[in-house]
Chains A and B, each alone.
Chain A
Amino acid sequence: MRVELTVNGETRVLEVEPRMSLLDCLRERLLLTGAHAGCEHGVCGACTVLIDGVPTRSCLMFAVQADGYAITTIEGLTPGPGELSPIQDAFCETHGMQCGYCTPAMILTAHALLASNPTPTRAQIVDAISANICRCTGYAQIVEAIALAAERMSGLNQPGRRP
């Protein structure tokens, strides 16, 4: 089946099997391997991508169902080659990862949270990432990373702008 996928701002026309999940399509056909296959039944959240800016399980969606939506993967968040987004930077700084398997999904989820709520409370951060399982960190540094990114992105930790 012919499908037109807009991934990270670029429109790609593909011929895919109707049964192919969006996750498999992103990884195998478009070679965007940042979305990870974890449980493949919607529980772990490792495959999260943004569909029109909203975190969605790419393992629970068929590629043909994604036709026409704006899809954002972790590869689409960097401002340029070799650069990191403020959220990615914050994850590095607070060491908000260990094995890295859940990290792309965590960062995309954080990205969607901060886009709709630039100054989330700790409880809101925890709620936002509650659908993403991390088996390494215990979540503390991930929450810290998102709080730090929020602070930076809203300009609160710039010199002379401290409240």
Chain B
Amino acid sequence: MLAAGDETRIIAGGQTLVPLMAMRLARPKRLIDIARLSDLAFVRHERDAIAIGATTRQCLLERDALVRADVPLLAKVMPFVGHAAIRARGTIGGSLANADPAAEIPLVAVTLGATMLYREDAANVEIAAADFFLGPMMTTLPAAGCLTAVRFPLWGGARIGVGFHEIGARPGDFAFAAAAAQIALNADGVCQRLALGIGAVAARPLRPDTVAKALEGTRVEARVVQEAVRAALADIDLFSDLHASAEYRRRAAECLAVRAITDAHQSAEAARAS
């Protein structure tokens, strides 16, 4: 049915698709409801990653012990995904497949270099998050493809810290800018690995790897963080709309990215002390 044309869409939680339909931005002729496919609702270890099934509801991820222990950035971000009433129905796969530029889960997927898994006919396809998101509500997922899971790579070592900040008109509303960071420190407190992602400011989540390059191997000094973040955002075209101009978004994104990195660094240091 999916392969027959682009007028059939998959629905799971419906928390992104149904508002789009209400506003007539999406006008599917047929919907295929996968919300109750229990085979697609899971959180489990898979190789060096945590795999999460596409129909796993967001409210379950919010309290999942495995997610909290092994994908702490995702656990940190979950309370910011819409409101509790949205997370009660919304799924992780729906958030990824619909690719709202302001959505938090795609931001985490890009930040951590997650892998998307989808099924097209009988073939199982894997694609990196960085290549999956094309633009607002657009992904490389083919019309006949169904997202089945997402795999978040595990970072080795106990000294891992995460940080997340966003700003919007009200908590739970669409963010104007968001930043997520994860840091791994070695025994001497030197940054071994850093991932920074910035969301809601451009057509898809950004992962400015120049920031990671500038900070890996250092002690993450505030001045270096500030300069690296500013330089990374300097030449990027950002969204501008009624709520927030591009210049506002640049300032906000800079500030939030610095805060996210600082939080991640501090929580990694605390993990070291304990």
Contact = CB atoms under 8 A, between A and B. Distances in A.
Contacts of B171: 130
Which among A45, A64, A65 has the highest number of chain B CB atoms within 10 Å?
A65
B7 interface: no
Contact of A48 (B14, B22, B23, B85): B85
Contacts of B19: 41-43, 60
A92 to B, nearest CB: 24
A48 B84 CA distance: 12
A57 B33 contact: no
Given A65-B33, A130-B171, A130-B172, A55 B84 contact: yes
A3 interface: no
A72 interface: no
A60 B14 contact: yes
B8 to A, nearest CB: 13
A42 B15 CA distance: 8
Contact of A59 (B22, B83, B170): B22
B84 A128 contact: yes
Given A65-B33, A130-B172, A131-B172, A56 B85 contact: yes
A40 B19 CA distance: 8
Contacts of B82: 131
B89 A57 contact: yes
Nearest to A133: B170
Interface string B164-187: 000000111000000000000000
Interface string A89-125: 0000000000000000000010000000000000000
A56 B89 contact: yes
B18 interface: yes
A54 interface: yes
Interface string A58-71: 01111011000000
B89 A131 contact: no
B88 interface: yes
Contacts of A60: 14-15, 18-19, 89
B59 interface: yes
Contacts of B85: 45, 48, 54-57, 109, 131
Contacts of B88: 51, 54-56
Contacts of B172: 130-131
Given A55-B85, A56-B89, A131-B84, A65 B22 contact: no
A135 to B, nearest CB: 14
Interface string B11-53: 0001100110011000000010101000000000000000000
B22 A40 contact: yes
Contacts of A64: 33
Nearest to A126: B171
A130 to B, nearest CB: 6
B23 A41 contact: yes
Interface string A132-163: 00000000000000000000000000000000
Given A42-B22, A60-B14, A131-B82, 6 more contacts: A51-B88, A60-B19, A61-B18, A61-B89, A62-B18, A131-B84
10 contacts: A41-B18, A42-B15, A42-B18, A42-B22, A51-B89, A56-B85, A60-B18, A62-B31, A109-B85, A131-B172
